[in-house]
Amino acid sequence: MSEPKLGGLWDLIAWRAAETPDECFCLDEAGRELTFASYQAAAERAAAGLASLGVGEDSPVTWILPTRVASLVLMGALSRLSAIQNPVIPIYRHREVGFVTGQTGARLLIVPEEFRGFDYHGMADELAAEQGGRMDVLVVEHELPEGDPAALPPPPPNRTPDDSPVRWIFYTSGTTADPKGARHTDHTLLATSVGFAKVLDLRLEDRIGLVFPVTHIGGVGWLMASLLAGSAHLVVEAFGPATVDFLSKHDVHHAGAGTAFHNVYLAAQRERPGEPIFPNVRTFPGGGAPKPPQLHYDLKNELGGLGIISGYGLTECPIIAMCNTNDPDEKLADTEGRVNPSDAEIRVVKSDGEIAGPGEEGEMRVRGPQLCKGYLDPALTEAGFDADGFFRTGDLGYKDADGYVVITGRLKDVIIRNGENISAKEIEDLLYEHPKVSDIAVIGLPDPKTGERACAVVSCAASVEPLGFAEMVAYLKDHRLMLQKIPEQLEIVDEVPRNPAGKILKGDLRERYGT
C-alpha cells in the first residue's frame, strides 16, 4: 500500500478510494452504506450540486446536521470545492447560530427540517430574514443536491502545512458569552488524526462507533483517521439504548466517545451478564470531560478490550495528548497520555510565571501542528496566546515524571458538560435580567454521567415568590438559550456569597452543593 499524500482532506479521500475502493467506509442504523469509492463519488456529485447553488472556493458555509452519512458526504463535498466550512453542533439555537453565521459571513446555512423536536428550518428562515437575504438556506435530510462532477473545477491543489489555507471554523464557548471561532486548516486537523490513528493502532478491519455530534471538531478528526487507516464508521444519528444493539450487531472495535457513552455501555453489559455485548472491542476512546479512574477498570474487566484510551485537547488545539494502547492501566485510568504527535508541546506554567516541574500544577499551555491559526476575532487571538506562541488553555494540570498529562481543574469559569463548554457568565447575564432575581452565580458541579452539571445559585428579590426550576427553564428557553446550557439544578439562597472585593465565592458554593 502506498503512503497517503497529506495535502488536504480531498487528497486523502481520493487516495483512500484508490487504495481500498471496495472496503466499507460507513454504515448507519437504516442500512445506508458507502464504500470508499462510492463515498468519493457521492461527495463529487454533491459538490457539483452545491456548486450549482453558488458554493465555490472560499465560500463560507455554516452547516448543522445530525451525525448522518449525508454529513460525512457534505464534509467531502465542501472540501472538493475548497469552501470554508463551519460545522455547528445541533444544540446551538437562534442566539448562537445567528452570531456564528454573522461573524463568518455565511452565504449558505444547511440544516435539517427538524431534529429531536426542534424546528431547524424555521430557525434558519428567521435568521436569513434577519440578515437581509445575504444568506441562503438549504434543508437537507439524507440526500444532498447533486450534479454532474464533470462540471466541477479542478480539485484543490496539494498543499503543505505552511501554505495550507484556513478551510474550517469551529466555535467553542469559553468564559465569553459569545462563541469563539477557531480557524483551522486541513493540516492542523490532519496532525490530530495522524496522531490518534497511531496511538489507537487503527487498522483496516476496524469499525469505529461514530456516536457523538459529527459537527464537533472530533467529527472531522475521526473522518480523517478512518481514511488514513481504512477503518469503517458505524454512524449513529441519536445516541440511545438502541445504539448498543447496533454497535454489537456490526462488531464495533472502538466504542467512543466519552464518560457519558461509556456509562451506557457498562450499564447495558451489566444487564446481560455472561453475554459480551461487544465481543471484539479493542478500545473505548474518550476525552472532553473528566474521566472517573474506576470507569477504566470497570470497562476493561466487564466488557473486555484495553479499557479507556483518552486524550486531552481543545477546539483550538485538538488531542494534543493521548494515551496509547501500550500504556499500563494506571496511566490509562489516571492520565490523559503523553504529548501527541511528537513535535507538539505542552508547557505547564505556574502562577508566578515559572515553568513547572514534574508533578507541579500550573496552567496548561500548548503549541503544535494541530494548533489553530487563531480566532476570527483578532482581539481574542491576542489574548489567547503568550509571547512564545503557546495557547493559554485556562486548564490546570501537571505532567508526571513520565510526561503523562493530568488535568486537575480550570482557570476559566466554564462548565464542561458532555464534552461541550458552557459559559457560566452567559447564563448569569440572562438570569440576572429575570424580575425575580437579585443575584446569581452559575457553577459547575461534578456529575458521574455528564462530567459536570450546571447549577444556578440564586437570591431572589424581596417580597416575591422564589424562582422555580420550571420557571427558570422556561425563561431561558424563551430567551433562545440552547438546551445544553440550561442548568440542571437550582438552589435558592438568601445571599450569594462574595468576598470584600465583590467577587463571588464560587469555591464555597461548589463545596456546599457538590454532593
pLDDT in tens, 65-118: 999 999 999 999 999 999 999 999 998 999 999 999 999 999 999 999 999 999
**Is the pLDDT reported for residue 176 higher than 70?**
no
Q: What's the pLDDT score for residue 462? A: 77
Averaged pLDDT for residues 330-359: 95
- Which residues lie below 8 Å from residue 379, measured CB to CB, with a gap of 6+? none
Range of lowest pLDDT (1-5, 258-262, 338-342): 1-5
Give the residue-averaged pLDDT of 162-190. Answer: 88
Rounded to 10 degrees, the C-alpha dihedral 38/44/46/50 comes to 170
The pTM (predicted TM-score) of the whole model is 0.85
pLDDT over 60 (residue 389): yes
Q: pLDDT-derived band of residue 501, with 50, 70 and 90 as boundaries? A: very low
**How many alpha carbons fall within 13 Å on the CB side of residue 275?**
8
- pLDDT higher than threshold 70 for residue 500: no
Burial of residue 1 (number of CB atoms within 10 Å: 0-12, 13-18, 19+) = exposed
Q: What is the mean pLDDT of residues 339-350?
A: 94
How far is 141 from 149, CA to CA, in rounded Å?
21
The answer to whether the beta carbons of residues 136 and 106 sit under 8 Å apart is no
pLDDT, residue 425, reads 78
- Quick one: pLDDT at residue 75? 98
Return the C-alpha torsion angle 54, 57, 63, 65, nearest 10: 90
The answer to whether residue 499 scores a pLDDT higher than 70 is no
CATH class of 1-17+36-154: alpha beta
Distance CA 311, CA 297 (A): 17
User: What pLDDT sits at residue 175?
Assistant: 45
Q: What is the mean pLDDT of the chain?
A: 93
**Across 318-343, average pLDDT:** 95
Q: Report which of residues 502 and 354 the model is more confident about.
A: 354
- Helix (H) or strand (E) run with residue 442 in it: strand 437-447
Higher pLDDT, 71 or 175: 71
C-alpha cell, 7: 495535502
Domain boundary assignment for the chain: 1-17+36-154, 315-410, 416-513
Q: Is CATH 3.20.20.100 the classification given to domain 416-513?
A: no
Quick one: average pLDDT of 328-345?
A: 95
Which CATH architecture describes the domain 315-410? Roll (2.30)
Question: Can you give the pLDDT at residue 329?
Answer: 98
Q: What pLDDT, on a 0 to 100 scale, did the predictor assign at position 3? A: 66
pLDDT over 60 (residue 515): yes
